[in-house]
Structure 1
């Protein structure tokens, strides 16, 4: 049985391995919108950080409604992180989080005009694990034959 710290460490490793999450924000009209964003390395107890432009819809949405969700998908695992976001325009923060892996998106580096950081203050994460494609297929087949409900794996909510 895993401990709370084990769960947090697993989520952090999963996010760092997956790298791209679907950031969901709420437009000023109330409509929800998701877009892929690349997360900067995260450590236990840290916020999630994403680079973007000051004039993007994600920044406009966060300024209107700060509640966000970021969903990460990997091989047989899913993590959904909920929290609040803020727009960080402090050049020291931008430079401190900068990595050259972002240069294809921002050729001028941390000096790119309008470059900001979306900081997500994480509150909870929900983690789902599937036993694997073959195992899930076998469980599905068994459930179809027996009429029983499929056991598709485990799910848990982790306070961050």
Structure 2
């Protein structure tokens, strides 16, 4: 376990991972995951994505607003559980729009087809393995030799 505040730990882990897998429930009850780029990296329990109004994620959230947002980095993972909603906030959309978004979305922030998907996270779980890949490999070998588990950091945070 770390001495760092758990919310700060989650923030730091998310900031290092650009794309999240957002899982929704379809109208037929199936789980559907898709990659979305996180737009707001100052994590305070709220995460924003820019999506198209006629996309499946918008349809799914309208029927079933409970979602999971999963981040996977080289040596860390975060799973957020929360409630999503679609926002028609043109000022926030313009604020979050960037060159990366421009490469994937058409029409810019003024286009009425582009909206925000706002996820209000209620809890987060995280796992963090120490060090770079070389350190992780060394820890794996050490674990096999000593019979002890690889050391890491994990926790659950209520938001």
Cα distance, 1:99–1:46 mapped onto 2, change above 3 Å: farther
Cα distance, 1:14–1:3 mapped onto 2, change above 3 Å: closer
Query: Structure 2: which 5+ residue stretches go unaligned?
Result: none
Question: Alpha-carbon deviations, 1:19-53, whole Å to 9, x = none?
Answer: 10100111111111111100013224251000010
Contact 2:72 2:78 in 1 (8 A): yes
Query: Does residue 78 of the first structure (1) align with residue 77 of the second (2)?
Result: yes
Q: 2:136 aligns with which of 110, 133, 136?
A: 133
> TM-score w.r.t. structure 2 length?
0.85
Alpha-carbon RMSD: 2.0
Quick one: higher RCO (CA 8 Å, sep 6+), 1 or 2? 2
| 2-structure distance, mates of 1:158, 1:46 | 10
| 1-structure distance, mates of 2:79, 2:44 | 16
Residues 57-136 of structure 1 aligned to structure 2 (within 5 Å)? 57-131=56-130, 132-136=135-139
Residue 101 (structure 1) shift: 2.5
Spell out structure 1 runs of 4+ moving beyond 3 A: 149-152
| 2-structure distance, mates of 1:151, 1:59 | 40
> TM-score w.r.t. structure 1 length?
0.85
Residue matched to 1:9:
8
DSSP-derived class of the 1:103 partner: helix
Deviates more, 1:75-84 or 1:101-110: 101-110
Query: Structure 1: which 5+ residue stretches go unaligned?
Result: none
